[in-house]
Amino acid sequence: MVLTTKLTQMLGIAHPIVQGGMQWVGTAEMASAVSNAGGLGLLTGLTQPTPEALRNEIRRCRTMTDKPFGVNLTFLPAIVPPPYAEYVKVIIEEGIKVVETAGNNPGVHIKAFKDAGIIVIHKCTAIRHALSAQKLGVDVVSVDGFECAGHPGEDDVTGLILLAKAAKTLKIPYIASGGFGDGRGLAAALALGAEGVNMGTRFMCTQESPIHDNVKQAIVKADERNTALVFRPFRNTSRIFRNSVATEVVSKEKKPNVQFEDVRELVSGQRGRQVYTTGDPEYGVWTAGQVIGLIDDIPTCDELCSRMVRDAEEIITKRLGIMVQPSKSKL
């Protein structure tokens, strides 16, 4: 089954489904599996420790799929930032056709990508940011609602509102991100004007996802209440899985005059990475969206994408179709 949208036509993919760029998860195994399933897989650029490591990962991914795939590059505030210009250079040199950007204003890098003929998808958590990205010349905006894993912004606006407002405001195509994991969500996103969906947490819980099975089982067992918001006092809110470490972080952040140093050790990225490799969901903090409440199995990427499209088509053609009846003239 095929759902054709501006996104599928632009990217040359079968299904309007994009894999989110997840730290420690967006490897060649993950990206190639999504692309082979008909979606757009994304390598996470900063998961690779150096630009040359990213180059090798791109080449490795090409041995695993002949379908389109892209690279996510997230621009984050840091005392010593990664060599972003070098990562951009590698992406361009390796002939990547699609890039997802996120985080801080990526204007100078977007220009470099566009000059190289690369399609740019930029992830935004607010309409004002989406309008800025549109001015910068991006091709597609990924509208990220409050339900999402990772950074939902500071406005606390849900996808239902953001997507409907994007339809009224933007002149470029947009896709829906945050809270999507099944055919109902895909059909809803299309009804709200989106050209497809972006999924992170849902793809974490697939057979090909390169994380420990214990973490996948924790996602399956969880419900929609099992996430927590941290870093709120620092205006860098992040949605993570609610485990004992997350609960401790939230407790510390409630204290007056809390500083990041008070929680730094608990939220260490290396501890979070080890969750995925050792399989102890309680060892550190790790991102998860409210969509965990909709996840109850661990399919292959192909099974997941095919099921989503099939269910979305059935909703669109059967359920919604029977609700629309021509009105009878009173004349």
Please tell me the predicted confidence (pLDDT) of residue 76: 84
Q: CA 42: distance to chain centroid?
A: 9
Q: What torsion, rounded to 10 degrees, do the Cα atoms 20, 21, 23, 27 define? A: 100
Q: How many CB atoms lie within 10 A of CB 294?
A: 17
Give pLDDT tens digits for 144-157.
999 999 999 999 99
Identify the three-state secondary structure at position 197.
strand
Alpha carbon distances (Å) from 133 to 78, 137, 158, 166, 235: 22, 7, 20, 13, 21
Q: With CA atoms as reference, report the closest residue to 124 among 109, 136, 113.
A: 136
Please tell me the predicted confidence (pLDDT) of residue 80: 87
HEC string of 245-305 equals HHHHHHHHHCCCCCCHHHCCCCCCHHHHHHHHHHCCCCCCCCECCHHHHHCCCCCCHHHHH
Residues ≥6 apart with Cβ < 8 Å to 313:
1, 3, 183
At 239, is the pLDDT very low, low, confident or very high (cuts 50, 70, 90)?
A: very high
Tell me the whole-structure pTM to 2 decimals: 0.95
**pLDDT at residue 331 greater than cutoff 70:** no
User: Which tokens is 47 given?
Assistant: 């998961």
Please tell me the predicted confidence (pLDDT) of residue 191: 96
Mean pLDDT of 121-128: 97
Q: With CA atoms as reference, report the closest residue to 287 among 106, 18, 35, 21.
A: 21
Please tell me the predicted confidence (pLDDT) of residue 322: 66
What is the rounded average pLDDT for all residues in the chain? Answer: 95
Please, what are the domains in the chain? 6-210 (3.20.20.70), 227-287 (no CATH)
Give pLDDT tens digits for 243-253.
999 999 999 99
Give pLDDT tens digits for 25-64.
999 999 999 999 999 999 999 999 999 999 999 999 999 9
Please tell me the predicted confidence (pLDDT) of residue 134: 96
Q: How far apart are CA 86 and CA 102, in angstroms?
A: 17
